[in-house]
Amino acid sequence: MDVSFSTEESAFREEVRAFLKQAWTPELAARVDADATHPQAIVEWQRRLFERGWAAPGWPKQHGGCEWTPTQRYIYDVERSAVGAATTLPFGLTMVGPVIIKYGNAEQQQRFLPRILRAQDWWCQGYSEPGAGSDLAALKTRAELAGSDYIVNGSKIWTTYAQHADWMFCLVRTESSARRQDGISFLLIDMKAPGIRISPIISIDGEHSLNEVFFDNVRVPVTNRVGEQDKGWTYAKSLLQHERTAIAGVGDSKRKVQRIRELARRETSAGQPLLDDPVFAARLADIEIELMALEFTELRALWQAAKGQGPGAESSLLKIKGTQIQQALQQLMMDMAGSFGAVLPGDAASGHDFADEARRSFMYGRASSIYGGSNEVQKNITAKAVLGL
Ligand SMILES: Cc1cc2nc3c(=O)[nH]c(=O)nc-3n(C[C@H](O)[C@H](O)[C@H](O)COP(=O)(O)OP(=O)(O)OC[C@H]3O[C@@H](n4cnc5c(N)ncnc54)[C@H](O)[C@@H]3O)c2cc1C
């Protein structure tokens, strides 16, 4: 997309380019790529961003954020994805951080926000439960008040990176007799507290990022509750909207288009470069057009957010379209790998230079239309809240 920038914005773009050139080194890129399930290297990357003052583009300056304009955020993301630099871990910076800023008290802000910025604490998200995924308000994990603590019992599922987490932001039921959404509270739980047990779930790509987490009489100080008791649903929803906007992943899809284009110049079909094959070229062009439209929609959403509106239910649109595009690109790359895409690591025929990359992202990529709220449910939200149906 061709966007013209003011003098200040062009100067900012040069600053971003210079920073990325010096901070996103090939050595760091290789480590991020190699260690997908324990991204210690991403923590290191976040610390480099923090030192530059750029860890939290959307946070207010008062809390150590950049307060970038939508154009600055757009410029950063375009430049970041152009060099393939990683995004930061979302659980602290994009998810619980904004909730603590908006609904937490001063003590919670002082205690947690600086550590999130510096990536000193690893956070995980305790929302989903068996029987409470799409229908999140059905959650049953209980927290009962006992003096200055809550006693938490129950379990969470699909908890990404719980095995590395220092803290979990968690939805618990504190009242059963009210309307389901009215009896939920938002707790910050120390993952080292006695009574917490983590059990791994291995996903279709063979990796361990997912977990079940069990709570057996876990004591959580009342001071770790964000906002009011029984009002957690409101806070949980605002977090989900931030999460869905982030999942759209425009910058990374643009990078993937470039990667596929490079490969398609090199790979051949019937003796000519794949990129010259009209069917292949049309498939790639279709995806690029959709991606360009998504980019405009995201920019509109960013401008609205800058005016203090949102992100609202429109974040569901971004999530649906963004993940459809990601999956279409993953499918295209898998098709390019052909039969090599079906070969597992360690098999005699493995080692085809981009088939491992294609298969890894294709397998894990099935999840993007499920996590952050499934795409079917996002369509329901869009129908109701955006289209008024
Ligand atoms: C890789 C991955 C990482 C995740 N990480 C986390 C995490 O860190 N923390 C966390 O709390 N959760 C996490 N989740 C859970 C995720 O949020 C849920 O899987 C998701 O909300 C769907 O819930 P469910 O799995 O219970 O499916 P269900 O709600 O049982 O849905 C099953 C199917 O029915 C469809 N469906 C359900 N209700 C409706 C409806 N009303 N209308 C139309 N269709 C419907 C769904 O679209 C889906 O296809 C993760 C999930 C994945 C796959």
Q: Is the pTM of this model over 0.85?
A: yes
243 is catalytic: yes
For ligand 1, is residue 324 a contact (CB within 6 Å)? no
d(CA 364, CA 353): 19
For ligand 1, is residue 23 a contact (CB within 6 Å)? no
d(CA 143, CA 122): 23
Q: Which two tokens stand for residue 294?
A: 């998504």
Residue type present at position 337:
A
Q: For 66-89, write each residue's pLDDT tens digit.
A: 999 888 988 898 899 889 899 888
d(CA 348, CA 339): 13
How open is the CA angle 183-189-192, to the nearest 5 degrees? 150
> Of the residues 79, 129, 243, 295, which is catalytic?
243
Element (H, E) at 23: helix 7-23
d(CA 60, CA 44): 23
Q: How does DSSP classify residue 86?
A: P
Residue pLDDT tens, the chain, 389 long: 556 778 999 999 999 999 999 999 999 988 887 776 667 888 999 999 999 999 999 899 999 999 998 889 888 988 998 898 998 888 999 999 999 999 999 999 999 999 999 999 999 999 999 999 999 999 999 999 999 999 999 999 999 999 999 999 999 999 998 789 999 999 999 999 999 999 999 998 888 999 999 999 999 999 999 999 999 999 998 887 777 777 888 888 999 999 999 999 998 888 999 999 999 999 999 999 999 999 998 888 877 777 777 667 888 899 999 999 999 999 999 999 888 787 776 666 666 678 888 988 999 999 999 998 999 999 999 999 889 98
Burial 94-132 (b: 16+ CB within 10 A, else e): bbbbbbbbebbeeebeeebbeebbbbebbbbbbbbbeeb
Which of 91, 371, 380 best tests ligand 1's pocket when mutated (most atoms within 8 Å of CB)? 371
Cα 242 from chain centre: 9
CB within 8 A of 104, min separation 6: which ones?
Answer: 112, 226, 227
Q: Which two tokens stand for residue 317?
A: 């649109």
Own/partner pairs, 258-265, CB within 8 angstroms, 24+ separation:
259/333, 260/284, 260/329, 260/332, 260/333, 260/336, 263/333, 263/336, 263/354, 264/336
Own/partner pairs, 303-308, CB within 8 angstroms, 24+ separation:
303/70, 305/58, 305/70, 306/69, 306/70
Query: Helices 278-306 and 314-337 sit at what angle, rounded to 10 degrees?
Result: 150
CA of 286 to the centre of ligand 1 (A): 28
The protein residue whose alpha carbon is closest to atom 7 in ligand 1 is 159
Residue type present at position 347:
D
